[in-house]
Amino acid sequence: MAIVLGPNQYGKAENRLVVVSRDGSTHTIRDLTVSTSLRGDLADTHLTGDNSKVLATDTQKNTVHAFAKQAPVGEIEDFALRLGRHFVSSQEAISGARVLVDEHPWQRIEGNGHSFVAGGAEKRTTAVTVEGDRAWVVSGVRDLVVLKSTGSEFHGFPRDEYTTLRETDDRVLATSVTARWRYQGGGIDWAASHTAIRGLLLTTFATRHSLSLQQTLYAMGEAVLLARPEVAEVRLSMPNKHHFAVDLSPFGLENHNEVFYAADRPYGLIEGSVLRDDAEDAGSAWYSLPMF
Ligand SMILES: O=c1[nH]c(=O)c2[nH]c(=O)[nH]c2[nH]1
């Protein structure tokens, strides 16, 4: 038996980066969390402690900061691609780079060019993988919280000796969407695509009658793939944020789906992938990202 080094990567995780651009007294801010990971000929540092091929994680952090100054950040996908390609092309030992960027939204406080209010929990995300001269872009949203107060049913499920859940033909359906979509092809307008896909996810959630969160998840992914040829696959993770109608009968009151207890945990966790059967090959890159 021999013991060998398996797959490995290293980098600086969760660089918190805020970039202020000034146009007179009107400022723009970009609030990003950037993580870099490098792969390549890195056996020596693990096996002997020879660090001659290790671009320090501190240097990776500094590169993120310098790149934010040397050119406009632009779309997060372009920023991540620039960083990933830089690491792979400038370091002989580095054959692959993964750059994750989350963008935290801020909105302008009306009437003031340089004051902002946090835009809520929703994040725009990207995960760029560079391998040699190839690159894959997987973008998405995280913590996109949605609720519909009708248009959702759940019934027809098996009943065994442990089942207590009542069937319902009208319930509140709420979830916090994490969606990742893998791009294929070139010449993509990242911002326009993001806006369109986010809109498709929301419209489908809102307008499709739901017999289960699973059915809604599939419909949301399908809507994206039908409308957006630049997307090969959509992966969705959707916790069921349960809203239980409160039993008001002890108080002699009827509850016609008006008063709910919004349970925090446990929650159902519905996850799935929707893809084209002729999607462009994802390479190893997509499959080494988290499935959901
Ligand atoms: O949409 C749902 N899917 C489930 O699988 C499930 N299970 C459950 O208890 N409630 C729900 N709702």
**105 CA to middle of ligand 1, Å?**
32
Structure ipTM: 0.99
Q: Of the residues 99, 132, 165, which one is the last residue of a structural domain?
A: 132
For residues 22 and 1, give the distance between their C-alpha atoms in angstroms, rounded to a whole number. 61
Q: Is the CB of 268 under 6 A from ligand 1?
A: yes
pLDDT of residue 91: 98
Same domain, 124 and 185: no
pLDDT of residue 192: 98
pLDDT of residue 280: 79
Q: Which of 119, 95, 89 is nearest to 106 (CA)?
A: 119
Same domain, 10 and 115: yes
Q: Of the residues 100, 132, 164, which one is the last residue of a structural domain?
A: 132
- Which residue among 33, 57, 59, 61 is the active-site one? 57
If you write DSSP's letter for every residue of 7-30 in order, what string do you get? ---B----EEEEEEEEETTEEEEE
Query: What's the total number of domains in the chain?
Result: 2
What is the CATH number for 260? Answer: 3.10.270.10
- H/E stretch holding 148 reads strand 134-148
Max CA separation in the chain (angstroms): 76
Instruction: Show binding-site residues for O2.
Output: 57, 240
Same domain, 11 and 59: yes
Is 57 among the residues known to form the active site? Answer: yes
Q: Of the residues 72, 102, 132, which one is the last residue of a structural domain?
A: 132
Q: Which of 84, 96, 187, 76 is nearest to 140 (CA)?
A: 76
Q: Is the CB of 154 under 6 A from ligand 1?
A: yes
Same domain, 73 and 151: no
Same domain, 50 and 163: no
For residues 29 and 224, give the distance between their C-alpha atoms in angstroms, rounded to a whole number. 29
Considering only CA atoms, which residue is closest to atom 7 of ligand 1? 268
Same domain, 226 and 104: no
pLDDT of residue 279: 86
Same domain, 149 and 291: yes
Is 155 among the residues known to form the active site? Answer: no
For residues 65 and 85, give the distance between their C-alpha atoms in angstroms, rounded to a whole number. 16
**23 CA to middle of ligand 1, Å?**
51
Same domain, 104 and 125: yes
User: How many helices (H) and strands (E) in the chain?
Assistant: 6, 12
Specify the DSSP class assigned to residue 187.
-
pLDDT of residue 288: 74
Pair 135, 89: CB distance under 8 Å: no
Same domain, 189 and 279: yes
Same domain, 127 and 98: yes
Whether residue 266 has a cis bond before it, omega within 30° of 0: yes
Same domain, 128 and 261: no
Helix, strand, or coil here: 250? helix
Residue ranges of the chain whose pLDDT lies below 50? none
Helix, strand, or coil here: 163? coil
Same domain, 124 and 231: no
The overall pTM is greater than 0.80: yes
Instruction: Show binding-site residues.
Output: 57-58, 154, 171, 214, 240
Q: Is the CB of 218 under 6 A from ligand 1?
A: no
Neighbours of 154 (CB within 10 A): 21
Is 45 among the residues known to form the active site? Answer: no
Domain span including residue 249:
141-292
